[in-house]
Chains A and B, each alone.
Chain A
Amino acid sequence: MRPFDYIRPRDTAHAVTAATADPAAAFLAGGTTQVDLMKDGVLSPTTLIDITGLPLRGVTTQDGVLRVGALTTMEELAADPVITRRLPVVRESLLLAASAQLRNMATIGGNLLQRTRCRYFRDLSCACNKREPGSGCGALTGHHRMHAILGTSAQCIAVHASDLAVALVALDAVLSVLGADGERAIPLTEFYSTPGDTPGIENVLGHGELITSIQLPLLPEGTRSGYLKVRDRASYEFALASAAVALETKDGTVREARVALGGLATIPWRSRAAEDVLRGAPATMITFAAAAEAALDGATPHPGNAFKVELGQRTIVQALSRVAGSQVGDVPS
């Protein structure tokens, strides 16, 4: 790890001022991505601004909106009674991620900013347009079984690794961000950037801007939600495919639906196409299959991950049928 200066800011304003003044500074929260990538030499900030002492921790609920402090840990949010009762999709996405140790360390703000697990990004000896613009992409012609089939470009097919972010884009979460010019709100669905020609730019956050909290609107009472994660190991593994879904049904008809995908895309992937198929349609397996097909329409698989198209579709169908439960009409034999 390269040497760096370490500072503890007095307050959030000081943290933002210090970061803004130093283009090579980075924030340190749980450290599970930051310290890891600094060891590998992928990140080499000259100053680390340790924000863990700032009062940005805890969960409050007001007027149907959950406000989650950015430094709340994954375990703390998973244990929140309102999350448990009203937003099982969030709880499941948290508890199916990482390990208990990592969930005790990792913060919610940091989770949303975690970097890809792409081996070519993390290995300095490999070509990677995200790490070093213009150097090429080792994954395109290399090992890309885990890589993305949605939101890709000719420059980058690295998958976004977060489970929580998938649940939060499904729920229309909004970030509160503090920068040198003051505070602004960013809907999470508009936060992430697909790689395009600039894979190094992953979101709309400016240098020095600090996520202070996440606003999470509760789903209407009676809406059922869940997170399904498909992976190579039974636990402690990243997703090959995952789906965060929420359904509100009445008399066998879908009134409202939310679908977001993980493990399949370069960003946490909200599928409006799937939601459009579901809304107003009978809550049946035929509808779910049509929604799944719409969600993967336009996918761009490569030879090593072509299986993810069908796996993604099946993940969506299973997630929806599980959430719909006994309300499903024609269960396949």
Chain B
Amino acid sequence: MVRLRVNGTVREIDLEPRVTLLDALRERLGLTGTKKGCDQGACGACTVLADGKRVLSCLTLAVACEGRDITTIEGLSDDGDLHPVQRAFIARDAFQCGFCTPGQIMSAVALLAEGRAGSDAEIREFMSGNICRCGAYPNIVAAIRDVAEALGHAPV
């Protein structure tokens, strides 16, 4: 049995060691918000937080996450109220098909915590691990900039 703490809830599941965190979340815990894009660490769609740090769940074995605090897109909202980054993505229309969006948002939440939203160039550089095939990048940057400015840690 593997004990996983996901979005504040401890779940015990019977898993083979070869199951990735991504597959455990989607196929075993029903948390399908985290997306499987490339499944080889190149696109960022599977980004989740492990102990507050953004990581790729497709290259992480679930069994190696015992004792770590995992946060997925489902864990961001507070009792139905969307996270400020989620609200900013909607306000800025920062997606088209939406497939990469959960990964973009998880990455953006971490980027803001890292203090890497000092300029548009810095946001672009530190979001480069999240690919958007629809090309919504300008609006993604704008959404992150909005939240950074609201938090007061980015120059206009």
Contact = CB atoms under 8 A, between A and B. Distances in A.
B60 A104 contact: no
B60 A236 contact: no
A100 B126 contact: yes
A4 B50 CA distance: 24
B93 interface: no
Interface stretch (A31-39, A144-152, A181-189, A277-285): A31-39
Contacts of B126: 100
A36 B107 contact: no
Interface in B86-130: 107, 110-111, 114, 116, 124-126, 128-130
A35 B16 CA distance: 14
B128 A104 contact: no
B55 A101 contact: yes
Given A52-B64, A105-B55, A99 B40 contact: no
Interface in B49-67: 50, 53-56, 59-61, 63-64
A99 B129 CA distance: 5
Contacts of B64: 28, 31, 50, 52
A102 B53 CA distance: 11
A48 B61 CA distance: 11
A127 interface: no
A230 B17 CA distance: 38
B107 A100 contact: yes
B129 A6 contact: no
Categorize the interface residue count of chain A. 20 to 34
A235 interface: yes
B124 A235 contact: yes
Given A31-B64, A104-B55, A235-B125, A99 B17 contact: no
Given A100-B111, A100-B114, A101-B107, A39 B129 contact: no
B69 interface: no
Contact of A236 (B50, B55, B111, B128): B128
Nearest to A235: B128
Contact of B44 (A28, A32, A101): A101
Contacts of A32: 41, 56, 59
Contact of A101 (B17, B47, B125): B47
B129 A236 contact: yes
B18 A28 contact: no
A1 interface: yes
A38 B56 CA distance: 16
A5 B56 CA distance: 22
Contact of B56 (A101, A235, A236): A101
Given A101-B54, A235-B125, 6 more contacts: A1-B18, A5-B17, A31-B59, A36-B41, A98-B129, A100-B126
22 contacts: A1-B18, A2-B18, A4-B17, A4-B18, A6-B63, A31-B60, A32-B59, A35-B59, A35-B61, A36-B40, A38-B18, A52-B64, A75-B53, A100-B110, A100-B114, A101-B54, A102-B41, A104-B53, A104-B54, A105-B55, A105-B56, A105-B59
**Shortest Cβ-Cβ A-B pairs, 10 listed:** A99-B129, A6-B17, A235-B128, A236-B128, A1-B18, A104-B53, A35-B59, A101-B129, A101-B56, A101-B54
